[in-house]
Amino acid sequence: MQNKRLSQSVVWVAAMVMGFSTMVSAQMPPPEPFPEARLDQEISIKSPGHLVLFSPVREVNNEIRSASMARLPVKGVGQLYEVQGGANREEARDHYLRELQARGAQILFECSGRNCGRSNVWANQIFDQSSLYGRDNNQDYLVAGSVDENGQPWLTLVYTVTRANQRQFVWVEHLVAPQGTDIPGMGNESARIKGPVIVPWQGGITYRFEWSGADRRIINDWAGEAEARVVLTAYSQLKDNETLEASMERAEAAAQSLSQVLAKSGVSESRQMIITVGPTVVIPNPDRQGDRVEVMVITR
């Protein structure tokens, strides 16, 4: 019986090694670093069971608990950056989010502040980087996934934190797994959903949209796929003494205006869909608050 178990273990290890040997890390390099950050440390990651979380973390009897987490066979790189000068970690996070959106990566999970869990657990038990131990309400985390032309799934994890001494750090993991690896949230249907691109708006009769040329290019690139549908979800912040109906009307009018802008850039209105949410849905993420339109693209 012991020989049989030993034989099974040898076969498993051999299969794992073969799986790693087929990974081509050059297929999808790590995102471009945030320009106003200094690289403090870089480590190589290669594991048959690397822990990746897809929901908030908590600690129970010194054990990590999360509603959705996985130990995945991966290899890749982990990079620790310290934000420099007058920049801040929110700008760093937005930089990586834009980089991932430009690649068509799908955000599988994100959290902010205390909703992520305890910073101590993220720093010392998940990432094994004591420099990341900061304030629970000054942290955020996201994990994004994509599939390369060889069918291999890639994950990028970005965690930012502000320490008690006000120093700000960013931890980035860029990982590839063997083809066929089961990753939470990366089914065939979810891979068709790209975005969102967050477009804050201001105005009333006329509207001003706070989005960059890179944001517009990303949306147009996604919409360029055959039969892709562009979904504009309109949000508004309920003002003092404003009725719900009035707030909903403001959100819908802003989305209609953005729809016309997209139409002029080549995304016909027949391929667009507007969903008006107004103030009725609250998302616990500081980057997804207030008057805004969230643009997503659903591919065939």
Alpha helices in 113-178 (DSSP H): 119-121
Predicted confidence pLDDT, tens digits, the chain (300 residues): 434 333 443 333 334 434 443 343 457 889 999 999 999 999 999 999 999 999 888 877 777 888 888 999 999 999 999 999 889 999 999 999 989 988 888 889 999 998 899 999 999 999 999 999 999 999 999 999 988 877 889 999 999 999 999 999 999 999 999 988 888 887 654 557 787 889 999 998 899 999 888 788 888 888 888 789 999 999 999 999 999 999 999 999 999 999 999 999 999 999 999 999 999 998 877 778 899 999 999 887
Nearest one of 238, 233, 245, 249 to 293, comparing CA atoms:
233
Backbone CA torsion sign across 52, 54, 58, 59: negative
Q: Which domains does the chain have, with CATH numbers?
A: 29-176 (no CATH), 190-298 (3.30.1330.60)
Sequence-separated contacts (24+) of 12-21 with Cβ below 8 Å: 16/48, 16/73, 19/73, 19/178, 20/46, 20/73, 20/75, 20/178
Q: Which residues contact 278 (CB under 8 A, 6 or more apart)?
A: 234, 235, 236, 238, 244, 247, 248, 250, 251, 252
Separation of first and last alpha carbons in the chain:
51
Q: pTM higher than 0.85, yes or no?
A: no
